[in-house]
Amino acid sequence: MSIENLLGELNKSQYQAVCMPAQHALILAGAGTGKTKTIVARAAFLISNGTHAGRIQILAFTRRSASEIVERVRMHLGDEAQALRASTFHSWCISLIRRAPKVFGCPGYSVIDRDDQGQLFKLVRGKVKKTDLPTAGELCGVYSLARNKTQSLDTTLKQELPDFYPKIDKIAEIMMAYEQRKKERHYIDYDDILDVVAQNINGSEKIRNWVSSQYDHLLVDEFQDTNPLQWKLLDPLKDDVNLFCVGDDAQSIYGFRGADFQNVHSFSTRVKDSTTLKLQENYRSTQEILDVSNWLLSQSPLNYGKNLSAIRGSGKMPTLHTFSNEWEEARWIADDILQRKNDGAKWQHHMILVRSSFAGRAIEPALLAKEIPYRFIGGTKLLESAHIRDLLSALRVVANPQDEIAWMRFLGLWQGVGEKTASKIIEKTLNLQGDDKVLNLLKQEKKLPDSAAEAIEAVMINRHNVSGALQAAFEVMQKMLAEKYRAQDWDKRKRDIKLVEKLAEKHTSILGFIEEYLLNPINSSQVVKKENDDIVTISTIHSAKGTECETCYVVNVSPGSYPSSHSLGDEAAVEEERRVLYVALTRAKDELIVTRQSRNTWAVRDDQKEEAEPETYFLNDLPPNLFDEVMHGDAPLVIDRKAPGGGSVIHVGIDLG
DNA sequence: AGGCGCACTTTTTTT
DNA sequence: AAGTGCGCCT
């Protein structure tokens, strides 16, 4: 395929955006209006007009969309696009840091994920009741949000945990202790990865020039989900690099991470000489699907000014199914997919969208029972699962002997060693230089079984062969791990470990391996199934952003879940929930199937029933002409015939008192 | 004192 | 699936 073919596929506004001269631009693109296509074509256009592919950096939100964009450009241009790079903000920044670690002041630092960050907060917080101080997790959340929004602790604490505001001095102290400890132990957390780069390019002209001289164009996807910290990365580069930002404020669903659609709304004032273009024609879905989506947004007190209309015209009516519980819901979805498959559809034309990875718990067994092949995007990540972390802790302490969190985990695995004993041992090991000394000390520890030192020694011998190190460590630790997880799917966990060994095969650096899979996380169902296999996709809505599918099941759109009872009382949070549902609905190309449960036992408990406010359920006041409704099982009915103009439609609501 | 096992809750969303 | 609290053991 050629660039001409690609340009020929564009409509007038897309063409205008793609072929724009080198300048700053903001493309406001509604759902399904060809955002990805526009970015792909823009990159291809720039390259075929003489820009070297290596001088274009694409910033996307997930690794999945990043690699899809690059793949598509390469499909059109071939070798010419070889040097094109697409990354997430985090992987882009880490690659800059790794290219000049001393410049950024963190040579040889280990990246820690949210879990480790929480562990470190736990250490510096000490044992205090959770009524006296926020939990380690909460502290972690406030700390991270303040940094991503580039705002003070004062402001953030007031917004997030107002009850603890009087304790702000103590909390500030803990946060400073966290930063101190982090520095001593040579850790960088996720926010540091962005902040280190942002501070340096804002603070040093030399470093800014070094970065900006590498690029002519930055193409930013999902711009509505960038936060102030990320803007702090883009802003200083705009004098030398052209920004091409694509986004949709109706799809902003990362507020919990500090996303700020001021980045969209203020673009034209912040960036001088910039052009704003709109893409409004939806190519993805049928009109019936867009009618539901448009209606949902129209119910918002915010004015999104969105009214998508379908180029494809009319199609099938969306359906709304009510079940009495999540198991029936899951079973029916599995049956429905199976039936469609038997009628000639492909597995890959089905996507199941869930709000939380936890919500997949009923779906997965239902698909497994019917032998439907699937992958779960956004589920528990391989490197986040307990057994893998256990094993990796042995590698981490060898790679970075200062890694206190990994030491705690590793030492605590062994019989007879708990928090206190582990801390005492760590106190001694942290000051030691050299493998031999560390090994000797471990061997001398009375409370520590011999296997612990053996595991560490095995890793030391294989330290430049990550897969070998994993195998050697596993050999020594297997018995202990099997005992620990004997009642918890040990066989499955064992398979995960083999999988990680396989992933590590090409890696010669422990830290490099861990870093890559922390920043580009995958879960086991993604590793097992090959990329292009014909399989069903289960995805969290957040992970499904930017994707589409012929038939979409949006699961558990029940009262208490949409909006989540968590967000009640916070209007901004409720609006974000609405956008989450909007994103889910607009993924569907041909068929939209919304399911819900009438007995949502964990979301609406008996003692809360009286307080639940039915008017905050997004599907209340649902006009009867938008969906075909089906009741299943013994789901209780509330018949409501006040529906306007509504012939014989039964409006199904859930009686919440 | 420190560690262990059992019963219990409690789940947003992600780099 | 993992964190918390509690009682019991070494």
Q: How far is the CA of A569 from the C1' of C10 (A)?
A: 51
Q: What is the pLDDT of residue A484?
A: 85
**Is A259 in a helix, a strand, or coil?**
coil
**Is the pLDDT at A634 greater than 60, yes or no?**
yes
- CA atoms of A145 and A140, how far apart (whole Å): 9
Q: What pLDDT does residue A612 have?
A: 46
User: Closest nt to A118 (CA→C1')?
Assistant: C3
What percent of chain A clears pLDDT 90, i.e. is strictly above it?
53
Helices then strands, counting H and E runs in chain A, come out as 27, 19
Which nucleotide has the shortest C1'-to-CA distance from A493? C1
Cβ contact A5:A223 at 8 Å: no
- The model's confidence at residue A525, banded by pLDDT at 50, 70 and 90, is low
Closest nt to residue A387, judged CA to C1': C1
Q: What is the mean pLDDT of residues A266-284?
A: 93
Q: pLDDT at residue A646 above 70?
A: no
Q: Which amino acid is present at A13?
A: S
> Does residue A614 register a pLDDT over 60?
no
Give the pLDDT confidence score for residue A344 in this predicted structure.
93
Residue A293 is encoded by which pair of tokens?
Answer: 């989506």
Q: Which of residues 460-499 of A touch strand C (CB under 7 A)?
A: 488-489
Amino acid occupying residue A49: N
A74-100 average pLDDT score: 92
Give CA A357 to chain center in angstroms: 11
CA distance A523 to A123: 28
Burial class (CB in 10 A: 0-12, 13-18, 19+), A343: exposed
Q: Are A401 and A366 in contact (CB under 8 A)?
A: no
**Cβ atoms within 10 Å of A492's Cβ, excluding its own:** 12
Looking at strand B, which nucleotides approach a protein CB closer than 7 A?
Answer: 1-4, 11-15
From the number of C-beta atoms within 10 Å of its C-beta (0-12, 13-18, 19+), residue A301 rates as exposed
**Model pLDDT for residues A473-482, shown as the tens digit of each residue:** 999 998 888 8
Asked if A561 and A584 count as a contact pair (C-beta separation under 8 A), the reply is: no
**What are the φ/ψ torsions at residue A232 (nearest 5 degrees)?**
-60, -25
**A386 CB-to-strand C distance under 7 Å:** yes
Q: Strand C: which residues 14-43 of A lie within 7 A (CB)?
A: none
Question: What pLDDT, on the 0 to 100 scale, is given for residue A375?
Answer: 87
Nearest nucleotide to the CA of A381, by C1', is B14
* Nearest DNA or RNA nucleotide to A130 (CA to C1'): C4
Report the residue count for chain A.
657
Is any atom of nucleic acid chain C found less than 7 Å from the CB of residue A415? no
Closest CA to A321 of A631, A81, A590: A631
pLDDT per position as a tens digit, A566-590:
887 788 888 999 999 999 999 999 9
Rounded, the Å distance between the CA of A602 and C1' of B10 is 10
Record the tokens describing residue A49, joined without a space.
């007009």
Query: From the alpha carbon of A255, which nucleotide's C1' atom is closest?
Result: B13
Q: Which residues of A7-20 are buried (b: 16+ CB within 10 A; e: fewer)?
A: beebbebbbebbeb
**SS3 of chain A: helix, strand, coil, percent, to 5:** 55, 15, 35
Instruction: Quickly give A536 CA vs B8 C1' distance in Å.
Output: 36
Give the confidence band of A647 by pLDDT, cuts at 50, 70, 90.
very low
Q: Is the confidence at residue A609, as pLDDT, over 60?
A: no
State the average pLDDT over residues A128-153: 88
pLDDT level of residue A619 (50, 70, 90 thresholds): confident
pLDDT at A642 over 60: no
Closest CA to A304 of A235, A251, A355: A251
Question: Does A410 score more than 50 pLDDT?
Answer: yes
What is the band of A457 on the pLDDT scale with cuts at 50, 70, 90? very high
Q: If we measure between CA atoms, which residue out of A199, A54, A104, A187 comes closest to residue A518? A: A187
Distance A576 CA to C10 C1' (A): 53
How buried is residue A269: exposed, middle or buried, by Cβ count under 10 Å (0-12/13-18/19+)? exposed
Question: Is pLDDT of A305 > 90?
Answer: no
Mean predicted confidence (pLDDT) in A269-289: 94
Quick one: pLDDT band at residue A635, thresholds 50, 70, 90?
A: low
- Kind of pairing between the strands at A651-652 and A639-640: antiparallel
What pLDDT does residue A290 have? 96
- What pLDDT was estimated at residue A636? 52
Token pair belonging to A507: 């890696």
**Residue A565: pLDDT above 90?**
no
> Integer distance in angstroms from CA A427 to C1' B10?
34
Query: Which residue is nearest nucleotide B11, judged by alpha carbon to C1' distance?
Result: A358
SS3 label, residue A653: coil
Spacing of A170 CA from B2 C1' in Å: 28
Pick from A590, A614, A593: nearest CA to A604: A614
Is the pLDDT at A1 greater than 70, yes or no?
A: no
Separation of alpha carbons A203 and A534, rounded Å = 50
> pLDDT tens for residues A173-220?
999 999 999 998 899 999 999 999 999 999 999 999 999 999 999 999
**Is the alpha carbon torsion for A322, A541, A305, A21 positive or negative?**
negative
User: Does at least one atom of strand C sit less than 7 Å from the CB of A385?
Assistant: yes
Find the residue closest to B10 using CA and C1' atoms: A602
Q: Name the nt closest to A489 by C-alpha to C1'.
A: C1
Smallest CA-to-CA distance from A646 within A625, A622, A621 is with A625
Say yes or no: Cβ of A380 under 7 A from any atom of strand C.
yes
Distance from residue A260 (CA) to nucleotide B14 (C1'), in Å?
15
CA/C1' separation A362–B8 (Å): 22
- Per the prediction, chain A carries an average pLDDT of 87
State yes or no: pLDDT of A530 exceeds 60. Answer: no
Which of A259-263, A305-309, A482-486, A642-646 is predicted with the least confidence, judged by mean pLDDT?
A642-646
Nucleotides of C under 7 A from a protein CB: 1-5
Q: Integer distance in angstroms from CA A522 to C1' B10? A: 25
A214 touches strand C (CB under 7 A): no
Question: Per residue in A219-260, pLDDT tens?
Answer: 999 999 999 999 999 999 999 999 999 999 899 999 999 998
Q: How far is the CA of A336 from the C1' of B13 (A)?
A: 27
Q: Backbone phi, then psi, for A187, in 5-degree steps?
A: -105, 145
Across A48-54, average pLDDT: 93
Residue A352: closest CA among A372, A323, A371: A372
Strand B: residues with CB below 7 A: A 61-63, 88-91, 113-114, 190-191, 253-254, 256-257, 355-359, 378, 381, 415-422, 447, 519, 521, 540, 542-543, 564, 566-567, 573, 576, 580, 602
Instruction: Answer yes or no: pTM beyond 0.85.
Output: yes
Largest Cα–Cα separation, chain A: 83
A62: which nucleotide lies closest, measuring CA to C1'? B15
* Cis? peptide before A563, omega within 30° of 0: yes
For strand C, list residues 113-142 of chain A whose Cβ lies within 7 Å of it.
Answer: 115, 129-130, 135-136
Q: What is the predicted pLDDT for the residue at A613?
A: 46
List, in sequence order, every residue forming a beta bridge with A87; answer none if it has no partner: A59
Residue nearest to nucleotide B4 (CA to C1'): A416
Protein residue minimizing CA–C1' distance to B9: A602
Q: Which residue is nearest to nucleotide C10 (CA to C1')?
A: A416
Maximum average pLDDT range among A120-134, A550-564, A611-625: A550-564
How far is the C-alpha of A446 from the C-alpha of A608, rounded, in Å? 53
CA of A127 to C1' of C5 (A): 14
